[in-house]
A and B are shown apart, each in its own frame.
Chain A
């Protein structure tokens, strides 16, 4: 696969590739290095996707274990980070689906699950607004927004992580923006206020 311009702008990931090679050889130290490099980033990304901190903890653990067990299956035709975020994305979706499915089977009201927004977020007022906006997005839309605005990925790489065409990424961003815009007047106000305070 040819590297795109966007890929070239990111630093090469030779170091991570070597770590992954060593993980294939069951090298614990290499795995530990990868773990510490990715744990905070995955934690944030997955929490954004599934909304529950405790669930994100479990998922990130599963992702890490999947890397340990499945390092061999890294085909080498993408960046290591793309591969790892791709796993995190799929495991998150899988867990979200399972929660929904379980709710259907045991006749639990899904609303109960949604209402049990755990204490993972310590929301101050400003974050609450933003959170309210994010709550209205689908998990897939949240993933696109988070990967763009926080992780700083280009749309092509996000397409690879999510396993979907670039146009789908753009469409999701477009819809997400329309929804998030509803909370923007508040955000804009806050930004101005903060700007004044720091002057």
Chain B
């Protein structure tokens, strides 16, 4: 790759000062030599200033915390917090449909519907921050508190996941996490409305 092209690709991070060592030096040197990249630099610098200066809307963190607080105790009861759960209740036709339908066919349908929102790189090259190279550890799942036992079992079944122990009262479960296409499975699991969190644990290769 030419210095020019390489610089163009890395300018954004030269500007936010996260390039170090050789990378920083390479951009710096090329900027001294290339008028096009200097122009680009000036434009991007301007853009980044606008993005960062853009005032955030007024926030009331205290009110948000107060709203959340009652739900911290209710992890295992019916009343729950806004987003996940209210939407869950409002969308009988969509995600419940996906959840209630057995097996892979509908999960496939869902993933097809999701496709326009995906770029192929993200799907094929998907790695997770905690599990990029997890080999044969476990997967920790946190179920939505609205998910019934039947729905949870169905979900585990359709993904071929085997429980290690039982599902806790807070909806936390550990399942065996091995076999092929784990990254794709993980992505698909995370797209399920009945699952709040899916993170591989243990045996993470350095």
- Chain A contact residues, CB within 8 Å of chain B: 1-2, 5-6, 9, 28, 31-32, 35-36, 39-40, 43-44, 47, 53, 55, 57-62, 64-66, 68-70, 72-75, 77-78, 82-83, 86-87, 90-91, 93-98, 100-102, 104-106, 120-122, 126-127, 130, 138-140, 145-146, 148-150, 152-155, 157, 160-165, 167-168, 170-174, 177, 180-181, 184, 187-188, 190-191
Q: What is the chain A residue whose CB lies nearest that of B72?
A: A68
Within residues 79 to 114 of chain B, which ones have a CB less than 8 A from any CB in chain A? Answer: 81-84, 86-87, 91, 93-95, 97, 110, 113-114
Task: Indicate if the CB atoms of B122 and A140 lie closer than 8 Å.
Answer: yes
Give the CA-CA distance A101 to B16 in the complex, in Å: 36
Residue from the list A39, A78, A152, A162 in contact with B18, Cβ < 8 A: A152
Give the CA-CA distance A145 to B170 in the complex, in Å: 36
Task: Indicate if the CB atoms of B48 and A149 lie closer than 8 Å.
Answer: yes
Give the CA-CA distance A184 to B39 in the complex, in Å: 12
Task: Indicate if the CB atoms of A97 and B114 lie closer than 8 Å.
Answer: yes
Within residues 39 to 76 of chain B, which ones have a CB less than 8 A from any CB in chain A? Answer: 43-44, 46-52, 54, 56-57, 59, 61, 64-65, 67-68, 71-72, 75
| A145 surroundings in chain B (CB, below 8 A) | 51
Shortest A123–chain B CB gap in Å is 10
Shortest A138–chain B CB gap in Å is 8
The count of residues in chain B whose C-beta lies closer than 8 Å to any C-beta of chain A is 75
Q: What is the chain B residue whose CB lies nearest that of A10?
A: B18
Task: Indicate if the CB atoms of B47 and A180 lie closer than 8 Å.
Answer: yes
Shortest A59–chain B CB gap in Å is 6
Task: Indicate if the CB atoms of B61 and A39 lie closer than 8 Å.
Answer: yes
| A96 surroundings in chain B (CB, below 8 A) | 117
Residue from the list A78, A120, A149, A173 in contact with B57, Cβ < 8 A: A120
Shortest A131–chain B CB gap in Å is 9
Q: Can you list 6 residue pairs at the A/B interface with Cβ under 8 Å?
A: A32-B65, A58-B83, A64-B68, A83-B130, A145-B51, A187-B46
Give the CA-CA distance A173 to B196 in the complex, in Å: 29
- Say yes or no: A69-B193 contact (C-beta < 8 A), given A148-B16, A181-B43: no
| B117 surroundings in chain A (CB, below 8 A) | 93, 96-97, 100, 138-139
A-side interface mostly: helix
- Cβ of B201 under 8 Å from chain A: yes
Task: Indicate if the CB atoms of A66 and B61 lie closer than 8 Å.
Answer: no
Task: Indicate if the CB atoms of B83 and A66 lie closer than 8 Å.
Answer: no
Task: Indicate if the CB atoms of B129 and A73 lie closer than 8 Å.
Answer: no
Task: Indicate if the CB atoms of A44 and B12 lie closer than 8 Å.
Answer: no
Which one of B21, B84, B97, B114 has the highest number of Cβ atoms from chain A below 10 Å of its Cβ?
B84
- What 10 additional pairs, Cβ within 8 angstroms, besides A62-B84, A102-B91, A152-B17? A70-B140, A73-B142, A73-B199, A74-B199, A87-B197, A148-B12, A149-B52, A154-B16, A162-B122, A170-B9
- Cβ of B191 under 8 Å from chain A: yes
Task: Indicate if the CB atoms of A98 and B9 lie closer than 8 Å.
Answer: no
Task: Indicate if the CB atoms of B129 and A83 lie closer than 8 Å.
Answer: yes
Task: Indicate if the CB atoms of B119 and A36 lie closer than 8 Å.
Answer: no
| A174 surroundings in chain B (CB, below 8 A) | 8-9
Q: What is the chain B residue whose CB lies nearest that of A35?
A: B65
| B159 surroundings in chain A (CB, below 8 A) | none
